[in-house]
Amino acid sequence: MKKMLTCGVLAAALSTGLAAQASTIATKPEPKLVVVISVDQFSANLYAQYRGAFVGGLATLSQGVVYPNGYQSHAFTETCPGHSTLLTGKHPNKTGISANDWYDRATGKTVYCLADPTVTLADDPKGRAVSPVNMVATTYGDWLKAVSPNSRVFGVSGKDRGAITMSGHQADGQFWYQPGFGFTTFVREGQTAEGRLKPVAAFNAKLAADLKKHPFTWDYDKASAKRCKTLEADYETGGRKWRSALPIPAAADEAGKQRDLYASPYTDQATLELAQALRETYGLGDGPQVDVLTVSLSATDFIGHRYGTRGPEMCDQIARLDDRLGAFLNSLDKVKGGVLVVLAADHGAADFAERLHDEGYGTERVLGKPWIAKLNAQLRADLGLSWDPLIADGGVDQIYVVGPDRKTPSLADRARVTAAAVALINKDPAVAEAFDSNVLLTMAAAPADASPEELSVAERLRRSVYPGRVGDIVVAFKPNRVPATAGATYVSTHGSPWDYDRRVPILFWWKGATPHERVLPLDTVDIAPTLAAVTGVTPPADLDGVCRPLVYGQHC
């Protein structure tokens, strides 16, 4: 009797196990629509802080495969390079997007990461023209279209660099929000602005009409007001006293009103509405081919920079983001094929220095202009120079050696100035390490299986530097040493090689996914090869990332 019972239990266990295995196999993702969402500046810390309060889209996505310990494993944790890793499978040293900007010593001018003088903007022919041309890597969408020409790829964002770097070189449309206009794009020679804007023309008209009829006022969302109000407080940053609270006081002029609107939850709301409209207009995911929709949500970054990451403004933003994502995910129920959604981030961030300092963390600002001026004065004296040999264009973490004309120096001047400057900088108590970028460019890469959390500072920097688009000297300031000033609309930043800027959540979700959490680190460069494996696309052989199976028992 006992033996029979044991056999019966064993049989039941085997049956249950096989059923569970079959169920797991049956629920593997088989998408006709791949949606990749980047929440700009959505750090792993921010995800963890508010995870218990999620009730909308972020709660849904957290019921899939969750990597709470994802990494942007390079050093220059900025928007453009971070976005360039998400769907290329490569670190910035292979995407060519080393930073948001770099200094071109041949011209003596700053170059924006996506600058392309051969194109124009659809909304303003004299505006900053951009395209994917500077990104030397291809994306998952490019790989897909190479083998499936009927596949459609669209990218939308609050920023040009969010829309373009994720959707790639062959996208059918790349649109980003321009305050006062709506969503715009770039226009190549032989194209017209009207033609390029056709996919969003009706949406832009409705967006403008709705905003005029119902102006957006940023006050607390009712669902989270009680919780977020408890975070209100008074601060002084950069000599300015201000109260961290909602509602945001109305700006005095139209330009100020547009800036305030841009740096509010409205930008994400409009971006998600456009994503839904494009999905429905073009029937993405309804046909036999796989389609791709990339969505970069910029408001968290705008709000983090302007108000910090841990105040009532961010509390309300995350609640609204959760709600808006929920509505967007619900709209995907109409897709005829399967849907796979990925959510990640381009970088994290720390809170502003003054609030952290008040909490006892000893955080301090490094003021860039006086810091580089002092360094130049010392080098002029030590080397007998008649000019300032260093330029820190865009930030003092990348420093360029220049000649008297502020352009390319002689090789001899480059060598002696760099050596002297690196030695001086490494004596600064605020600096962790400084390097000659030529040393980084020639050093061996970290092993392919190296854990992102265990990389040395040099290895992190190695993944950021790209020839011709990086300073001669790269500087890693110590943790909680912030190389940025505080302004009227800018109190917090990111960009360091430390984990508060590198760690991001990475979530994979599809209907029928078995919820589970994977605590070991995942690199953002692993997302693209994973998507390629799921959809049967062969990626380039030189990727940094690797496929990670999303279902237990399955292999890439």
Q: Tens digits of per-residue pLDDT, 175-228?
A: 999 999 999 999 999 999 999 999 999 999 999 999 999 999 999 999 999 999
Is residue 192, in this structure, part of any structural domain at all?
A: yes
Residues 256 and 386 in one domain: no
Chain-centroid distance of CA 390 in Å reads: 29
Let me know how long the chain is.
Answer: 556
Phi/psi for 179 (5° steps) reads: -55, 135
Average per-residue pLDDT for the chain: 94
Is residue 517, in this structure, part of any structural domain at all?
A: yes
Residue whose C-alpha is closest to residue 131's, from 174, 99, 84: 174
Residues 343 and 196 in one domain: yes
Q: Tens digits of per-residue pLDDT, 35-50?
A: 999 999 999 999 999 9
DSSP of 64-95: SEEEEEEE--SS---HHHHHHHHTTSS-HHHH
Q: What pLDDT is stored for residue 9 in this prediction?
A: 37
Q: What pLDDT is stored for residue 553 in this prediction?
A: 84
216: amino acid identity, one letter: F
Residues 374 and 516 in one domain: no
Q: Is the CB of residue 279 less than 8 Å from the CB of residue 331?
A: yes
Is residue 547, in this structure, part of any structural domain at all?
A: no
pLDDT for 5 beyond 90: no
DSSP state of 115: B
Residues 490/495/498/502 CA torsion (nearest 10 deg): 100
Q: What pLDDT is stored for residue 372 in this prediction?
A: 98
Q: Give me the CATH number covering residue 60.
A: 3.40.720.10
Query: What is the enclosing helix (H) or strand (E) of 322?
Result: helix 312-331
Is residue 233, in this structure, part of any structural domain at all?
A: yes
Is residue 221, in this structure, part of any structural domain at all?
A: yes
CA dist list (Å): 203 to 111, 125, 285: 32, 21, 20
DSSP state of 446: P
Give the span between the Cα atoms of 78 and 376, in whole angstroms: 26
Residues 353 and 213 in one domain: yes
Tokens at 365, concatenated = 């600002």
Span 406-420, average pLDDT: 98
293: amino acid identity, one letter: L
- Domain span at 450: 367-429+431-477
CA dist list (Å): 60 to 51, 349, 507, 509: 11, 24, 10, 8
Span 474-497, average pLDDT: 95
* Minimum mean pLDDT range among 8-12, 119-123, 209-213: 8-12
Q: Is the CB of residue 258 less than 8 Å from the CB of residue 180?
A: yes
Residues 287 and 422 in one domain: no
Residues 265 and 351 in one domain: yes
Give the span between the Cα atoms of 220 and 286, in whole angstroms: 38
Q: Packing angle between helix 266-281 and helix 193-213, nearest 10 degrees? A: 130
Q: Residue 42 half-sphere exposure, CB side, CA atoms within 13 Å?
A: 27
Q: Work out how many domains the chain is built from and give that number.
A: 2
User: Where residue 27 falls among pLDDT bands split at 50, 70, 90?
Assistant: confident
Q: What pLDDT is stored for residue 19 in this prediction?
A: 35
Q: Is the CB of residue 88 less than 8 Å from the CB of residue 545?
A: no
> Which positions are catalytic?
79
Q: Tens digits of per-residue pLDDT, 456-482?
A: 999 999 999 999 999 999 999 999 999
CA dist list (Å): 23 to 12, 16, 20, 551: 16, 10, 5, 11
Q: Tens digits of per-residue pLDDT, 302-345?
A: 999 999 999 999 999 999 999 999 999 999 999 999 999 999 99
Residues 286 and 422 in one domain: no
Residues 372 and 306 in one domain: no
Q: Tens digits of per-residue pLDDT, 276-292?
A: 999 999 999 999 999 99
Q: What pLDDT is stored for residue 2 in this prediction?
A: 37
Q: What pLDDT is stored for residue 488 in this prediction?
A: 86
pTM for the predicted model, two decimal places: 0.94
Q: What pLDDT is stored for residue 250 in this prediction?
A: 87
Tokens at 120, concatenated = 């124009």
Residues 171 and 308 in one domain: yes
Is residue 10, in this structure, part of any structural domain at all?
A: no
Query: What is the enclosing helix (H) or strand (E) of 345?
Result: none
Query: What is the enclosing helix (H) or strand (E) of 511?
Result: none
Is residue 542, in this structure, part of any structural domain at all?
A: no
Residues 155 and 197 in one domain: yes
Q: Give me the CATH number covering residue 438.
A: 3.30.1360.150
Cβ atoms within 10 Å, residue 447: 9
Residues 391 and 506 in one domain: no
DSSP state of 487: B
Is residue 266, in this structure, part of any structural domain at all?
A: yes
Give the span between the Cα atoms of 355 and 309, in whole angstroms: 10
User: Where residue 21 falls among pLDDT bands split at 50, 70, 90?
Assistant: very low
Residues 393 and 269 in one domain: no
Cβ atoms within 10 Å, residue 334: 12
Give the span between the Cα atoms of 553 and 475, in whole angstroms: 44
Span 70-92, average pLDDT: 99
Residue whose C-alpha is closest to residue 525's, from 501, 509, 546: 546
Label residues 22-59 b or e (16+ Cβ within 10 Å = b). Answer: eebeeebbebbbbbbbbbbbbbbbbbeebeeebebbbe
